[in-house]
Amino acid sequence: MVNMLAETIGETAMKSERVWAKHSQLENVAIYVDYDNVYWTLKNSYLHDPDDKNLDKNLFTQLWNTYDRDNVRVFKAFGDFEQIACDMTSLQKKRIQLRHVYANGKKDEHRKNASDIELCLDAIETTYTDPNISCYVFVTADSDMIPIMSRLMYKGKHVELYYVPSAASKQFDITSYAHRAVDLLEFLNIQVKEYKIEDYVTGALEFIENWERKFQENPEVFLGRSWLFMKLREVLAIPESACSQLLEFLETKEYILLDNKKYYDKIKDEHTMKKSYRLAKKGIQCLQDYEKETASSKE
């Protein structure tokens, strides 16, 4: 009986010690957000703004709620804020320390992301300037944070990770470099929508048809892939991956084709030929069939 009581007291003491240790680890927290990475991944793939007006879906509000304002010593977001379409005042009101990092003036996948480098350097520096920080939280969308997380774990720091599994490297298990890993999509209550490409074919063809009516005879413009890709994403409100599939579908099924279009370069003052998209016969027929179906349904 005495032995059983002693064992029970011992187990209770050990549990209490673990709870206390966990609590003490979260008393001094540093949060680092690779905002360049997170912003473009969530916007391009899930049409989600990290600084969403819905507080249940707002990245910064949810992080504050998770770690408690009294425990957070550092909360920094790194990114090229000239390229990110965000309300900086809104972020500053949330007490986020913004660190602008020039990303060579390009957007999306074309930019050379320097923010993750600055973030890692800042985190390492913090281990020396503020050694009392016991918990480091990294918010990213890929596997670029693996080296810094590994280094901090070796330094005896508690490391937590918020990431997007679909964007993480399949070669490395990024979650093994953190004591706790959280799926950003679940954390922000982001509903992953399945896009049926066939549902957007008519809308894409109508957009190209309207463009042709306005600009087909204008020698100063042409319908290139990059511009068409950007506009279809915007007009149809679909993510990057779905738009890529849509364009590939339209080309493969021969609804659209690339053709030579006369183009006048005003800067060079010369005429040349540019590859420009236009509707193919199959695309025109598809729109005609759609118009007939729409008209008959109204009768």
Q: Is residue 16 part of a domain?
A: no
pTM of the full structure: 0.78
Q: Are residues 125 and 238 in the same domain?
A: no
Q: Are residues 125 and 221 in the same domain?
A: no
CA–CA distance, 76 with 95 (Å, rounded to integer)? 9
Q: Are residues 174 and 218 in the same domain?
A: no
Q: Are residues 181 and 228 in the same domain?
A: no
CATH of the domain at 165: 3.40.50.1010
Q: Are residues 256 and 206 in the same domain?
A: yes
Q: Are residues 144 and 168 in the same domain?
A: yes
Instruction: Work out whether strand 270-279 and strand 180-183 pair parallel, antiparallel, or are unpaired.
Output: unpaired
Q: Is residue 148 part of a domain?
A: yes
Q: Are residues 168 and 219 in the same domain?
A: no
Checking if the pLDDT of 21 tops 50, the result is: no
When computed from its CA atoms, the radius of gyration of the chain, rounded to whole angstroms, is 26
The pLDDT, as a whole number, for residue 148 is 95
Q: Is residue 9 part of a domain?
A: no
Write down which residue in 148, 165, 187 finishes a domain.
Answer: 187
Q: Is residue 99 part of a domain?
A: yes
Q: Are residues 209 and 143 in the same domain?
A: no
The pLDDT, as a whole number, for residue 85 is 81
Q: Is residue 8 part of a domain?
A: no
Write down which residue in 187, 216, 235 finishes a domain.
Answer: 187
Which parts of the chain fold into alpha helices (H)? 2-25, 35-46, 59-67, 88-93, 115-129, 146-154, 184-187, 201-215, 225-236, 240-252, 281-298
Domain residue limits at 257: 197-298
Checking if the pLDDT of 283 tops 60, the result is: yes
Q: Are residues 159 and 211 in the same domain?
A: no
CATH of the domain at 245: 1.10.10.10
Spatial CB neighbours of 31, under 8 Å, sequence gap ≥ 6? 63, 67, 72, 74, 75, 76, 137, 139
Q: Is residue 183 part of a domain?
A: yes
Q: Are residues 56 and 177 in the same domain?
A: yes
Q: Is residue 105 part of a domain?
A: yes
pLDDT in tens, 83-112: 888 889 999 999 999 999 887 665 554 455
Q: Are residues 208 and 174 in the same domain?
A: no
Q: How many domains does the chain have?
A: 2
- For residue 34, give both structure tokens: 């690779």
- Confidence band, pLDDT 50/70/90 cuts, at residue 78: very high
Percentage of residues in the chain with pLDDT exceeding 70? 88
The pLDDT, as a whole number, for residue 115 is 85
Spatial CB neighbours of 127, under 8 Å, sequence gap ≥ 6? 133, 152, 155, 157
- Confidence band, pLDDT 50/70/90 cuts, at residue 2: very low
Write down which residue in 130, 158, 187 finishes a domain.
Answer: 187
Q: Which residue has the tokens 């005042």?
A: 89
- For residue 198, give both structure tokens: 């066939």
Q: Are residues 46 and 180 in the same domain?
A: yes
Checking if the pLDDT of 251 tops 80, the result is: yes
Q: Is residue 4 part of a domain?
A: no
